[in-house]
Amino acid sequence: MRFVARKANPCLRIIKRARFSNFERAHIIDAARNPIDLDERQIHAVSARIELDLRVGSAFTRMQTMQLKPLLEHLQTESDSKIISYGSCQFPTLGFIVDRYFRVQNFVPEPFWKISVIYEKDGAKVTFNWKRVHLFDRLAVTILFERCLAARTARVTKMDKKATRKWKPLPLATVELQKCGSRFLRMDSQRVMKVAEDLYTKGWISYPRTETDQFDRGASSRSRRRIAAGGRNNDKAHPPIHPVNYVASTSLSDEERRVYEFVVRRFLACCAEDALGEQTTISILYGPETFTANGLIVIQRNYLDVYPYDKWESSQQLPAFAMGETFVPTEARIGEGKTSAPGYLTEAELIALMDANGIGTDATMAEHIGKIKERRYVMTRTRGLGCCGGGGGDGRWEWRGGGGGGCA
């Protein structure tokens, strides 16, 4: 870097750099007023990483293309420009999808049996769930069920009523934006980031590429002090993604409106209070077995009023029971079911796996996912469809496989 600078201006003696992370006026002015020394070690490290990625990627891509392309029927019928690429982040990203694909394909359902108890009181039907959940031995379940019936009456052994809460979300970071965009906005990660960057350049939201999920503790506003302690990550470069200006929805495209609304609602949710409720748990002893019933009453919705993406609803309201109370269940029965296979990965799940395993950065995850889609190593389908659909948001990922694959 010094060589380039002195080549352009041989009169330079001291060379420093202005380091800034985004194009906001305050950041650029601060960087210009506080230049820093060049760190040659960082410069060389970046150069080495670039060269290693290029050399390794090129070598493996060439080898895979030459050796594997003749084996893949769907590539033999396409243009010779199609390659089977390799990348240090692309490869494990594809690996997560392939691993889940084989888990789905190789899954063998296993039958199980369970006991459920129902009791009607004060006009309410209360369902008690078995503490064991279920067992895979039908004979054992039948024996336990007969012992329950022989006891005839059930007895209340525990009553627990306590305050509970649903925590408000953390300030918004890039990885979370990509996951929520796929889950709630039905947009793939690449599209979400493109729209967010457009909103940033137009001055409506803050810089959308950040690992920070906590606001500056020195912020003066009361609302920001409440959310400062929420997260643990801070990249020391950018604040969490938040709105910086008001814009009428009529001035935005449909996708821009959805992303902008999500960013605003997420920020307001961070500034609000946790949702509050009351959780009631009743345990009964029926024969030798324990069963429990749970009820939830939402007392104060708080942040949920501005953040409809989270759901927390009141469930069955339990009638009054007394400790030691006995009763004859209205209904007791054995139910049968089968274990179910895991679903194909969703984009939100894939991003979470990449984040947990350090694959890519918040700025490149969407690019790696887009690359394996572009190479047609995977296909996506909209949740609930019986065959492969477009690459819409929160689609299920399926490995294309060596023979062209498709939907399983």
pLDDT string in tens for the chain (408-residue length): 566 766 777 777 677 888 776 666 777 888 888 888 888 888 888 889 888 888 888 888 888 888 877 776 655 555 545 778 888 888 899 999 999 999 999 999 999 999 999 999 988 899 999 999 999 999 999 999 999 999 999 999 999 999 999 999 999 999 999 999 989 998 989 999 999 999 999 999 999 999 888 887 654 344 445 554 567 777 777 889 999 999 998 999 999 999 999 999 999 999 999 999 999 999 999 999 999 999 999 999 999 999 999 999 988 778 989 999 999 999 999 999 999 999 999 999 999 999 999 998 887 899 999 888 888 888 887 765 433 334 455 667 777 654 333 332
CATH number of 199's domain: 1.10.290.10
Does residue 54 fall inside a structural domain?
no
CATH number of 150's domain: 2.70.20.10
Q: What SS3 state is found at 347? A: helix
Task: Say whether both 214 and 297 belong to one domain.
Answer: no
Residue range of the domain that includes 136: 111-168+274-338
pLDDT at 377: 85
Does residue 136 fall inside a structural domain?
yes
Task: Say whether both 332 and 392 belong to one domain.
Answer: no
Task: Say whether both 145 and 178 belong to one domain.
Answer: no
For residue 161, the one-letter residue type is K
The phi, psi pair for 386, rounded to 5°, reads -90, -10
Task: Say whether both 258 and 179 belong to one domain.
Answer: yes
Task: Say whether both 261 and 178 belong to one domain.
Answer: yes
Does residue 384 fall inside a structural domain?
yes
Q: What SS3 state is found at 95? A: helix
Number of domains in the chain: 4
Residue 400 near residue 380 (C-beta atoms within 8 A): no
Query: How many angstroms separate the CA atoms of 204 and 306, rounded?
Result: 19
Task: Say whether both 298 and 354 belong to one domain.
Answer: no
CA neighbor of 394 nearest in space, from 355, 349, 360 = 349
Measured CA to CA in angstroms, residue 294 lies from 282, 310, 378 at distances of 7, 20, 42
pLDDT at 288: 95
Task: Say whether both 301 and 355 belong to one domain.
Answer: no
Chosen domain end from 338, 367, 385: 338
Does the annotation count 207 as an active-site position? yes
Catalytic residue, candidates 119, 207, 303, 344 = 207
Tokens, residue 76 = 């033999």
Task: Say whether both 153 and 180 belong to one domain.
Answer: no
Does residue 133 fall inside a structural domain?
yes
DSSP for 382-408, written as a single string: -TT-SS-----TTPEEEE--TT-----
Does residue 48 fall inside a structural domain?
no
Task: Say whether both 102 and 230 belong to one domain.
Answer: no
Does residue 250 fall inside a structural domain?
yes
Does residue 67 fall inside a structural domain?
no
pLDDT at 81: 54
Chosen domain end from 288, 309, 338: 338
Chosen domain end from 228, 256, 271: 271
| Total Cβ atoms within 10 A of residue 366 | 24
Task: Say whether both 219 and 200 belong to one domain.
Answer: yes
Q: 394 in the Ramachandran plot: left (φ > 0), alpha (ψ -120 to 50) or beta?
A: left
Does residue 47 fall inside a structural domain?
no
Task: Say whether both 96 and 118 belong to one domain.
Answer: no
Task: Return the H-helix or E-strand segment holding 49.
Answer: helix 40-68
Residue 353 near residue 96 (C-beta atoms within 8 A): yes
pLDDT at 23: 65
pLDDT at 391: 43
Task: Say whether both 244 and 126 belong to one domain.
Answer: no
Residue partners of 365: CB distance under 8 A and separation at least 6: 175, 178, 189, 351, 354, 355, 359
